[in-house]
Amino acid sequence: MTHKYLSCILLLMILSLVFGCTTKVVTSETPTTEEFAPDYIEKLPTPITSQFNNFSYVINGVDYNVQFVFYQEINEYFKNKERGYYPSRGETEATSIIKKIDNNYQNIQLVQVRLYFTTLQLSDDEKIRAITSFVQNIQYDHIAANTDAVTGKYPYEVLYTNIGVCGEKSQLLAYMYKSLGYGVALFDFNAENHEAVGISCQQQYSYKNTGYCFVESTTPSLITDADGNYAVVGKLLSYPKVTILQEGKLYDATNDFINNKKLYDFDKYDIGDYSEIVSIRNKYGLSQKTCDSVDVLCNGFCYLSCDINEIYECTPTEGLICKLDPKNCPIGKTACNNECYSNCDAGVFTCESTGAICYI
């Protein structure tokens, strides 16, 4: 064997050691490409079992209903995915939250919802109010909240089940704001175990000067209204952790702030014009549709029932007025023009068009 031949073999051995070159014989038992597939490639479900869910929202005083289709197989897919936020090394908490609420597969499945709201013939800020009302009117899950059975649903799950707790509905709302390009944050009130949404707005209207206006997701309310008495938690007294998910467009909260202050002053101090308050409540979908059996509904408000010997009248300027029933006037009073008047101490009781008169 020549030195030249030995040198060639030695060179091949060195190259083999350095680059790890090996020869593989392909047989019928060789693993397929699918078997070599990395673990992070998921098998996505085939949507088969459909259901149609109805939703409602209010914009500019008009009630709307919309229907979307969802699939059991897709809901099960998200139901079995990781629930919480677990940032990887070098990853922010905001990034980990976005991975949950804004992943590509969920974007594909929820395109019907995003497309519906983005194509409404409304201004961008009106679309935000429509989306806000849409999420607020999804049922709040009192059972899960009161029994500590919260699972941390994905936005798709909230829409599929048509129910959710504060964190689940807030993440759905944040997802929708984000899709319209607005600046979005989450407010986490650890002391009260509550989560709300922040939308980028003018500094003077923002929540605790964060640059983000407060938005409650669990019940109909105005953007900027953080004074509610919320289910399970009551009033929000602590300072929240603010997690910015996206910087983007600014929402003009001027009208919301002004109208919310009018509602607050009327509720707390009975200051303001009643008919204007009714109009504001109707505009934002705050009017109540039903009351407890013992209460009376009038202009979207629930009033205490009148006394047993009284009848009520719902007026557009004063609300519910209780007055004595002229068909059942109490002792010492007499009916006149559908009202009860006190009897005359002296003289003759006379009922005229202007009311009762005592002629002496």
Asked whether 166 and 196 are in contact (CB, 8 A), the reply is yes
pLDDT score, position 230: 78
Separation CA 170–CA 285 (nearest Å): 19
pLDDT score, position 87: 63
pLDDT score, position 135: 98
Residue with tokens 């990887």: 88
pTM: 0.80
pLDDT score, position 28: 30
For residues 192-204, one letter each, b for 16 or more C-beta atoms within 10 angstroms of the residue's C-beta and e for the rest, the string is bebbbbbbbbeee
pLDDT score, position 232: 74
Separation CA 351–CA 114 (nearest Å): 66
- Mean pLDDT in consecutive groups of 10 residues from the start of the chain, 360 residues: 41 38 32 36 84 98 97 95 69 84 89 96 97 98 89 95 96 96 97 96 98 97 93 88 97 98 94 95 93 91 90 93 89 90 91 91
Domains of the chain: 50-267 (3.10.620), 293-324 (no CATH), 333-359 (no CATH)
